[in-house]
């Protein structure tokens, strides 16, 4: 990657040196890409490099193994959302999850579109219910893209596709009401909106977050989960308070 010019979404930023920063961007065709931004913590660049912002990026590196230098130009700012507790928590979590879970340099075009869609939904929706279901679906898609997808097509116990209502925490497969009889307490609820579409009501959304959260913690965020999952816990706590 001697030179790469691309659109991207800022996912993470960390200080590097006295004034610089390393930014990690999710790009449409190259996946997660990191670069060093000279003056990245300056007054001019701090508002550009906020997580969730869409930028035009130019990466330059002498070799494939070298950390690229990065220059950015703001295409779309989501800074106004960061003053609202729930949207800010949603953006913080979605960006932290993406930056932590994905390997660098692996293209995930479907995931990029979904990620951009979630951020757009947070921006457009007047209330959290308008984007919370999209966030659950994004987490579900991320699990699948990383090889930890849930099998929600047929019951693991009976083979039936009817009345799927639970997911086995062991096999990550759906279980029907008939197949779950007597074992409901050991299973995770499967919210209908993940099968039928739509936004779902708040109990379904909270069940969806519990479902995806269980598998993200078990399969994806195993080594770095303490710091990253704190952002998710803040989001879930704010959602609970918002609908109480």
19: domain CATH number?
A: 2.40.50.140
Q: Which two tokens stand for residue 194?
A: 């993940």
125 in a domain, yes or no?
Answer: yes
> Which residues in 164-179 are b (16+ Cβ under 10 Å) and which e?
bbbbbeeebbbbbeeb
Q: Integer distance in angstroms from the first to the last C-alpha of the chain?
A: 50
pLDDT score recorded for residue 146: 97
The pLDDT, as a whole number, for residue 199 is 83
Report the alpha-carbon angle 92-8-135, nearest 5.
Answer: 40
Whether residue 181 lies inside any domain: the answer is: no
Per the listing, tokens 């299973």 go with: 187
Predicted local distance difference test score (pLDDT) of residue 64: 74
- Domain end: 77, 97, 128, which one? 77
Structure tokens at 11: 């996912």
**113 & 37 share domain:** no
Residue with tokens 């598998």: 215
Q: Are residues 227 and 136 in the same domain?
A: yes
> pTM of the prediction?
0.94
Phi (first) and psi of residue 149, to 5 degrees:
-65, 150
Residue with tokens 């007054």: 43
- pLDDT value, residue 51: 96
Q: What is the pLDDT of residue 244?
A: 72
Number of domains within the chain: 2
Q: Is there a single domain that holds both residue 239 and residue 126?
A: yes
Q: Can you give the pLDDT at residue 11?
A: 97
pLDDT digit string (tens) for the chain, length 244 residues: 689 999 999 999 998 888 899 999 999 999 999 999 998 889 899 999 999 999 999 999 887 778 999 999 999 999 999 999 999 999 999 999 999 999 999 999 999 999 999 999 999 987 888 899 999 999 999 999 999 999 999 999 999 999 999 999 999 999 999 999 999 999 999 999 999 988 889 999 999 999 999 999 999 998 766 688 999 999 999 999 888 7
Same domain, 110 and 22: no
Q: Is 40 in the same domain as 140?
A: no
Q: Domain limits at 65?
A: 3-77
pLDDT for the residue numbered 243: 81
Check residue 9 and give its pLDDT.
98
Beta-sheet strand order (sheet of 174-176): 174-176, 164-167, 188-189
């Amino acid at each position: 990657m001697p030179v790469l010019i691309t659109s991207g979404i800022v996912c993470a930023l960390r200080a590097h040196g006295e004034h610089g920063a390393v930014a990690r961007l999710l790009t449409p065709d190259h996946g997660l890409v990191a670069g060093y931004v000279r003056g990245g913590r300056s007054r001019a660049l701090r508002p550009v490099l906020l997580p969730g912002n869409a930028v035009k990026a130019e990466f330059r590196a002498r070799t494939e193994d070298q950390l690229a230098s990065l220059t950015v130009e703001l295409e779309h700012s989501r800074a106004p959302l960061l003053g609202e507790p729930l949207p800010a928590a949603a953006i913080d979590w979605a960006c932290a999850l993406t930056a932590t879970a994905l390997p660098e340099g692996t293209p995930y075009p479907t995931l990029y579109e979904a990620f951009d869609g979630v951020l757009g939904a947070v921006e457009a929706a007047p209330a959290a219910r308008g984007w919370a279901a999209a966030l659950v679906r994004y987490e579900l898609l991320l699990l699948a893209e990383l090889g930890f997808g849930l099998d929600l097509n047929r019951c693991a116990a009976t083979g039936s596709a009817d009345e799927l209502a639970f997911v086995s925490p062991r096999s990550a497969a759906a279980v029907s009401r008939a197949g779950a009889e007597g074992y409901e307490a050991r299973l995770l609820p499967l919210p209908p909106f993940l099968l039928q579409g739509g936004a779902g009501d708040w109990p379904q959304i909270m069940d969806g977050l519990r479902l995806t959260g269980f598998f993200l913690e078990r399969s994806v965020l195993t080594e770095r989960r303490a710091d990253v999952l704190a952002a998710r816990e803040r989001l879930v706590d704010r959602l609970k308070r918002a609908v109480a």
